[in-house]
Amino acid sequence: MISFTVTARDGAARAGRLTTPHGLVETPVFMPVGTVGSVKAVGPDDLAALDARIVLANSYHLLLRPGPDLVERQGGLHRFMAWPRALLTDSGGFQVFSLAGSRTMSEEGVTFRSHLDGSLHALGPERAIGIQEQLGADVIMAFDECPPAGAERSYLAQSLARTARWARRCKAAWHPDGPGALFGIVQGGQDLALRRQAAEEIGALDLPGYALGGFSVGETNEQMHDGVAACAPLLPADRPRYLMGVGAPSDLLHAVASGIDMLDCVLPTRCARNGLLFTSRGRLVIRNRAWAEDPRPADEACGCTTCRTFSRAYLRHLFQARELLSYRLNTLHNLAYFLSLMAGARKAISEGRFAAYAAAVRSGWGEEGEVVTCDQP
């Protein structure tokens, strides 16, 4: 089971230590996404070399393939993917609502068709907890509904009430002495009153950690930043606070400033495969003709393998030629950038200078900023 200690505060920002059965995770932390049990294009040796301490995997994808029974028989997800450090799994709810076909929702849960082969599956609070306990992650998430950004207040309120009932069923199904620490999820869209109510209801369950769900689902960046800033303090101060599915580097700085401890996003890995590199000087589109003969590294301030070894000219060539090595080198760099951004944030918080750190980082990005959108896949 996990334990969590806040070791430093700097305004609303905080640094902490999350102890898990698979090692120490210093917070605030960014969690690379390993959807089907693999962070795309890199191996566990690479992740360890990048000093990633915790990786996220998606229950929805693992449920469909290879299935939680198989993973359990293989000794659990840590062993299956050869990742000895901490793992967090989501409940599958978000992907059911965003990826799966022909959903039917009831009080019991959701039935849906696999986006892979159309096969029929059912997921609800008890099953979501069961699957995650089979996978054996160190942190597991309650099964919830994540309403779309434009949902009406009446729908939001109904959905929230059901998510609260589902959270209680998750807690009842959960084995507190098992491998996974259960985190509750606070939804509520952009409605602060609903968020407050949800935080009270979910917080009352006295769980090992809490998450904010339903951000970065279509609202503006400003709405997201304001919402997170308003909602993070609603979560119990002595438990880790996880902002789900966020975000770009600027979002990370905002969230950390608001008191968020954990974040995850596909952005560094997905953008890498689309040739977009995050750097200390802002975003760099590697296919840009300007880099065709540029001997400099992608980021002159970066010490990652990619930047230590290869020129922009070569990275551009690999990307233009659709070489597999391109996806790997870009991914290694983007993960290094995100992880080092957070390492810097932790250090700054512990030294009481987080605002200055964030300002210096933003200033490096320059006028263009680093806000990005990144196409599938």
As annotated, the active-site residues are 90, 264
Number of C-beta neighbours around residue 333 at 10 A: 27
Which of the 8 DSSP states describes residue 302? -
**CA contacts within 13 A on the Cβ side of 226:** 9
137 binds a second copy (CB under 8 A): no
313 contributes a contact to a second copy by CB under 8 A = yes
Least CB distance to a second copy at residue 78 (A): 12
The candidate with the shortest Cα–Cα distance to 138, out of 80, 54, 59, 204, is: 54
User: How does DSSP classify residue 20?
Assistant: E
- Which x/- pattern, by CB under 8 A, does the window 271-310 give for a second copy? --x------------------xx-x---------x---xx
Residue written as token pair 């019991």: 108
Report the run of H or E that residue 253 belongs to, with start and end: helix 249-257
Total residues in contact with a second copy, by rule CB under 8 A: 40
- Residue 266 binding a second copy, by CB under 8 A: no
Confirm or reject binding of residue 56 to a second copy (CB under 8 A).
no
Question: Closest CB to a second copy among 87 and 156?
Answer: 87
70 lies in the site for a second copy, by CB under 8 A:
yes
Q: Does 43 bind a second copy (CB under 8 A)?
A: yes
Of 298, 241, 246, residue with least CA distance to 267: 246
Q: Binding a second copy by CB under 8 A: which of 320, 351, 352, 360? A: 320
- Cβ–Cβ < 8 Å for 350, 13: no
CB atoms within 10 A of CB 158: 14
> By C-beta, is 9 or 121 nearer to a second copy?
121
Pick one of 36, 105, 149, 230: the residue that binds a second copy (CB under 8 A).
Answer: 36
Binding a second copy by CB under 8 A: which of 3, 5, 7, 74? 74
Tokens of 80: 């299956």
Among positions 5, 323, 360, 369, the unique one binding a second copy when judged by CB under 8 A: 323
Kindly list the strands in the beta sheet with 3-10, ordered across the sheet, starting from the edge strand earlier in the chain: 3-10, 13-20, 23-27
Nearer to a second copy, 212 or 329 (CB): 329
